[in-house]
Amino acid sequence: MKTMYWKDNKLFLIDQTLLPDEIVYHECKTYEDVITAIKTMKVRGAPAIGVAAAFGMVLAEIAGENIEKAADKIKNARPTAVNLSWAVDRVLNSESFIDEAMLMYNEDIQTNKAIGKNGAAVIDDGDTILTHCNAGALACVDYGTALGVLRAANEEGKRIKVICDETRPLCQGARLSVFEMQQEKIPVKLAVDSAAGHLMQKGMVNKVVIGADRVAKGGVANKIGSLLVALAAKRFNIPFYVAAPKSTFDSENSIYDVEIEERDADEVLYFGKCRVAPEGTEIENPAFDIVPSDLITGIITEDGIIKPI
Ligand code: MRU
């Protein structure tokens, strides 16, 4: 099952807001539909929004839209992942929008399999690996980056166990990563975000593998909570790996200059449909945080494992 597919000049995306209960493909007929799907996180995860953005450009071209305006709006749908700009610029610089988007679609799967193979080398038989958010097939076209490493280790016959952080506020770990691991029949447990330090202190975690929205000078931006996981891993000498394709690298900027997306207060004020704080409570809702390079053991890419930039 792919996170998205292109058919009859339309983009179909699994609506990830409905997972794990319903698997429904959401139809995008215009580039604005793609932008809305990205903003509302029907499609999410850095590589997935990159490829969706590429098809958004194809939709803009088919409809005869102003290409520069469409490119600008798509790039700004979410600010933190570099993949949106990467994908839009790649399509703009190509000879055929649709051919380039299809190429990126197919490349994504091959790239993730290469990341998986490279990353599996640092996973030992019997390891329990903690992951945060969802850097799985659902965050890409297929296979996944961080979860791709776990898939590859499992395919190699290593007996691994996975702990997924719940990942408040939108519970990508609980809803999406647990779902993916269960589909793969990889033993998985769910823990609340604040349990990570305790589990590490008790010796119940051998490695951490997470994804990234941007790898830049000085560190990595990833889902809010990644920093606390990295700090705890450092304290307890647990190797902390980031799995990320080269499309997520931004060698121009310092990671501290990257805009951290702030999302709607209701994501925190409500757990699903249930309000969990008094009405009118003021909210901080940063969607990402920064893991500094010195907390990262290695970055697992399609070309091998490298030191942070
Ligand atoms: O807000 P999200 O769900 O798009 O955040 C996703 C993440 O933080 C992932 O870890 C990251 O995009 C890497 S996905 C391979």
Binding-site positions for substrate read 44-46, 78, 172, 222-223
* Structure token pair of residue 76: 């700004």
- Give the tens place of pLDDT for each residue, 118-169: 999 999 999 999 999 999 999 999 999 999 999 999 999 999 999 999 999 9
Quick one: pLDDT at residue 272? 87
- Give the tens place of pLDDT for each residue, 223-274: 999 999 999 999 999 999 999 999 999 999 999 999 999 999 999 999 989 9
Contacts of 105 (CB under 8 A, 6+ apart): 4, 6, 51, 54, 55, 141
Alpha-carbon distances of 283 from 136, 170, 266, 267, rounded to whole Å: 29, 15, 8, 9
Query: 34 CB less than 6 Å from ligand 1?
Result: no
Nearest CA to ligand 1 atom 10: 211
- Give the tens place of pLDDT for each residue, 19-33: 999 999 999 999 999
Residue 38 main-chain phi, psi, to 5 deg: -70, -45
Atom of ligand 1 nearest to the CA of 140: 15
Contacts of 78 (CB under 8 A, 6+ apart): 38, 39, 49, 84, 261
- Number of neighbours of residue 220 by Cβ within 10 angstroms: 30
User: Do the beta carbons of residue 145 and residue 242 sit within 8 Å?
Assistant: no
Query: 172 CB less than 6 Å from ligand 1?
Result: yes
Q: How many residues does the chain have?
A: 309
> What's the ipTM?
0.98
Query: What is the rounded CA–CA span in Å between residue 133 and residue 152?
Result: 19
Nearest CA to ligand 1 atom 6: 45
H/E element, 74? helix 67-75
Active site residue 213: yes
Query: What is the rounded CA–CA span in Å between residue 293 and residue 23?
Result: 37
* Structure token pair of residue 132: 């945060």
Domains of the chain: 4-110 (1.20.120.420), 121-306 (3.40.50.10470)
The percentage of the chain sitting over the pLDDT mark of 70, rounded to a whole number, equals 100
Angle at 49 between CA 6 and CA 283, to 5 degrees: 140
User: Do the beta carbons of residue 201 and residue 227 sit within 8 Å?
Assistant: no
